[in-house]
Amino acid sequence: MSRLDICSVAAGFNKIPLLTNVSFTVEPGTMTALVGVNGAGKSTLLRAIAGISPALAGQVLYDGVSVHSMRPRQRARQLTLVGQEESPPGDLTVSEMVALGRLPHLKSWEIGGKREQKIVADALALVGLSDLAERPCDQLSGGQRRRALLARGFAQGTDMVMLDEPTNHLDVHHQLHLLKVLRESGRTILATIHDLDLAVAHFDQVVVLHEGAMLAAGNPSDVLTSDNVRKVFDVEAHLLTVAGKTHIIVDSL
């Protein structure tokens, strides 16, 4: 497994930076959360880190190699990105859509082979959609579509997985199940997260974005302090440890 180094990266649209000078490292096998208010640039930064959009400055290194120097197929064999606004093609079944995650690894004659079928089945089982494998994607609920896209990401089989708001549209059970699956997968995870309590309780590192820059990065309880949460989110919050796990309680404006 390889580490991901984000080195003085700027990201934005039409050569206009939304974020500048962002630097942090995602160590192999760890989980890192990107947090910030809506519009802070979390999704924009994630797309630049994944190599989907250009970095306006700086560089992103995966195992010491620039992500932006990789060809798309090579990059897809190394890094997985599951976007927030993606919608699965309605005319495909769930299993057919998940199988698209295997395309970067396959020759044309390997599509549909027994090994690939098992990978797809295992990915569906991970997200609890095995019983919907043959259902058309346009018949899924919002939460089911989200889980199907996550299954496609798992089927892609990379060690590095980037997720844009992976818990969005999921109920509490499926949020916690997904985070458990991510942890037990042993993969390296970088995800944008809007729920600060999930970030504190389930991630090894939190990166806070604020006013066009990175405010802090590090251990969740060191980064999501009352002062930082007040500064970024304009609410009063406190850290609380229950049964050995740290949580963040937001109690007032």
Q: What is the mean pLDDT of residues 210-229?
A: 96
Residues in the chain: 253
pTM recorded for the entire structure: 0.93
Secondary structure (DSSP) of 76-107: HHHEEEE-SS----TTSBHHHHHHGGGGGG--
**CA dihedral over 190, 195, 198, 201, signed as positive or negative:** positive
Distances (CA, A) of 126 to 1, 177, 184: 21, 9, 11
Q: What is the mean pLDDT of residues 142-168?
A: 92
- In order of their start, the domains of the chain are 4-252 (3.40.50.300)
157-205 per-position pLDDT tens digit: 999 999 999 998 889 998 998 999 999 888 999 999 999 999 999 999 9
Q: Which has the minimum average pLDDT: 93-102, 132-141, 198-207, 244-253?
A: 244-253
At position 174, the amino acid (one-letter code) is: H
Task: Report d(CA 163, CA 218) in Å as an integer.
Answer: 19
